[in-house]
Chains A and B, each alone.
Chain A
Amino acid sequence: MSESLMVSAVDIHKSFGTNEVLKGITLEVKRGEVMCLVGPSGSGKSTFLRCINHLERINSGRLMVDNQLIGYRESNGKLHELKPSEAAAQRVGIGMVFQKFNLFPHLTALDNVISGMIRVQKIDRTIAIAEGTELLRRVGLADKLEHYPAHLSGGQQQRVAIARSLAMKPKLMLFDEPTSALDPELVGEVLDAMKQLAQSGMTMIVVTHEMGFAREVADSLVFMDGGVVVESGDPEEVLRSPKHERTRAFLSKVL
């Protein structure tokens, strides 16, 4: 696998019971690339994202992040399941932002951000607080450090969630419909934070319905439907002249 690749997925299959959700996904994400995954609901975008973080276990195929097999270790041509601690260590390098934010409601914004640093990386609390404060300042929430999630708007909560993921210094960030649960007027502030992150060179995979964001920020666009990649390429091109009928039908509804 090439050094320039961050994610390499080859023929990924995933079923829930008899329902096959991913039917052979193959794609590559380069270092520093921002990829947007779009497609109708039920197309398998979110499942694929969760597989990259090993929140779901794939049934077949080969999934690598930063030249490391996800969930398994390979020796003598055999796959060995990772110990829970090893799987956890892999996840540290992969940040994830959820549609419903999933902030810890019993912790303040700052404590949310430093929770991983303190509980996982065992960083000294004073240092963690300094870093956490800086991260929250960068997403524009310097004045909300001591607020509980319930006291924050959806947009603010999602920005705290982004800061919380960044606190682990990930090499890859996954966004699972980060703006879908937000009121329309709050979408912009979250997209701005993501844009900033993209400009800093972070490798990102974003499941989204925000075509404007895809066109402006993404390096590549992947259209998924029915558990397969239908079409992919330069966002501008795919959005302007989709080659497949299914892509065209979908885009005509969301654009």
Chain B
Amino acid sequence: MARSTKSTIQAVPLRHPFRWAAAFYFVLIGVAFIVDALHRSAYDWKAFYKYVFDVRVFKAAGVTLSLTAISMFIAIIWGVALAVMRRSPNPVFRQVSWFFIWVFRGTPVYVQLVFWGLLSTIYHSFFIGIPDIHFGHFYLGVHFPISQTASLYWLAIIGLSLNEAAYMAEIVRAGLLSVDEGQEEAATSLGMSWWTTMRFIVIPQAMRIIIPPTGNEIISMLKTTSLVTAVPLITDLYARTRNISDEIYNPIPLLMVACAWYLFFTTVLMFVQYFVEKRFARGHSPLLRVSHE
């Protein structure tokens, strides 16, 4: 006679001896490494604790954070603009966008930063207006001198954000392409203009696709700021910790200090990304729908 189908299945669970062995092995390696590191003099934990909350390091971490935030802010806006321009019915916009991406994605960010640092050597001033037409000393336009001491901080931000914008443009473009053609058709047939369609119909839907890689770009930018020494800006986290280690002839603990701060920031960003992604999945993911009901 068949047993009642209602009774819970009693079966011997599948065993995973290799998983356990591997887990044990990696834990062992980890513990051994930590125990060793705690006693290894080169790490100099005393110096690490002394400098990890040092006021100079703290300020430098702030500079790194503000470089990241401002550069990404500009890069996202400019990147969206470039991506939308590439989809524009206007061929001039399409070509300008293509050319910008070609240049800024095609050369290393480090080299670009060196160039921005040399801006005042290459150009002494820039001029907005009609060149070569003047009445005595009166020009049809405005001269902006580029001072020898042009803010290295802002040059670094220009360098970082323009380079990043080229990458953001490609990310946004992929997002725009992911939106079904029918959406644009439906909006158009309602009489929406091309820009209204982009702004209220296509871009909001593209966000779902754009956000995960953008989070990745922000984290990447946080670390790329360590290259601003090329400008040369030396107030960011990495340059500052190098600077301190030169003073005390002890590089390793300060590298650890820098890593600790970078890791802390990226960890926070990963949490933020998780919640933002959830927000933009609204009305879309069937999984989310189940959890809502």
Interface residues of chain A, those whose CB is within 8 Å of chain B, are: 53, 55, 84-85, 88-89, 91-92, 94-96, 98, 100, 102-108, 115-116, 119-120, 148-151, 161, 164-165, 168
Contact = CB atoms under 8 A, between A and B. Distances in A.
22 contacts: A92-B191, A94-B189, A96-B186, A102-B183, A102-B186, A103-B186, A104-B183, A104-B205, A105-B205, A107-B283, A108-B283, A115-B187, A115-B200, A115-B201, A116-B191, A116-B192, A119-B200, A148-B283, A148-B284, A150-B284, A150-B286, A161-B186
Contact of B201 (A104, A150, A161): A104
Contacts of B193: 84-85, 88
B190 interface: yes
A76 to B, nearest CB: 27
A91 B196 CA distance: 14
Contact of A148 (B180, B200, B282): B282
B188 A55 contact: yes
Nearest to A90: B191
B186 A104 contact: yes
Interface of B: 89, 180, 182-183, 185-194, 196, 200-201, 204-205, 282-284, 286, 289
Contacts of A107: 283
B194 A84 contact: yes
A106 B204 contact: yes
Contacts of A106: 204-205, 282-284
Contacts of A164: 190
A91 B183 contact: no
Given A105-B284, A119-B196, A150 B289 contact: yes
B180 to A, nearest CB: 8
Contacts of A53: 189
Nearest to B190: A116
A101 B67 CA distance: 45
B18 to A, nearest CB: 42
B186 A91 contact: no
A91 B186 CA distance: 11
B189 A115 contact: no
Contacts of B190: 91-92, 115-116, 119-120, 164-165, 168
B277 to A, nearest CB: 14
A55 B181 CA distance: 12
Contacts of B284: 105-106, 148, 150
B282 A89 contact: no
Given A102-B183, A150-B284, A91 B189 contact: yes
Contacts of B187: 104, 115
A148 B286 CA distance: 11
Contacts of B191: 88-89, 91-92, 116, 120, 168
B196 A120 contact: yes
Contacts of B200: 115, 119
